[in-house]
Amino acid sequence: MTEWKNAAAPDAALIETLAHEAIASLPPAFAGPAADVVLRVEDFASEEFLDELEIDDPLELTGLYDGVPMTEKSASAPQHFPDTVWLFRRAILDEWASRGDVTLGALVAHVVIHEFAHHFGWSDDDIASIDRWWE
């Protein structure tokens, strides 16, 4: 028990490292498009994101894709900001602690893959049809 006295919570750098490992494991057909997406790790989602999604508790949002899905992109409608996958460290750590049955790496990978699936044009229903993680 004493080894926990000086332990610190996993920081943003570790979450980012785990996320990059998950991205590197994507099949080649997805790895190229994924390389164009910016990855950001913050402690919590911004008030703007929470308000837009009508979420009151910032611990309910572990990740977010902010961009135009590949299936909706058009050369005639240029995008003025980069596609971004956001990971929210405190919400991820809260879920990891409350689940108690997955590694931090597995949870981060799951959130990353879920958010990148939105970049590739999958809906939440599409993702849920093949990934029963949240059940």
Return the CATH number at 25. 3.30.2010.20
Does the residue 2 lie in any domain?
no
Q: Among 105, 113, 107, which Cα is nearest to 37's? A: 113
Q: Residue 34 sits in which domain range?
A: 8-68+81-130
In a domain, 59, yes or no: yes
Residue with tokens 């900001």: 81
What pLDDT score does 134 carry? Answer: 53
DSSP 84: E
Cβ 60 vs Cβ 95: under 8 Å: no
Q: Report the alpha-carbon distance of residue 90 to residue 98 in Å, rounded.
A: 12
Q: Is residue 118 part of a domain?
A: yes
Residue 20 placed within a domain: yes
Q: Is 73 within a domain? A: no
What span, in angstroms and rounded, lies between the C-alpha atoms of 52 and 64?
12
Domain total of the chain: 1
The β-bridge partners of 65 are 85
Global pTM? 0.87
Whether 36 and 81 have beta carbons less than 8 Å apart is answered as no
Instruction: Calculate Rg over the CA atoms of the chain.
Output: 16
pLDDT in tens, the chain (135 residues): 557 778 888 999 999 999 999 999 888 888 888 888 999 999 999 999 999 999 999 999 999 999 988 888 877 777 778 999 999 999 999 999 999 899 999 999 999 988 998 888 887 777 777 666 555
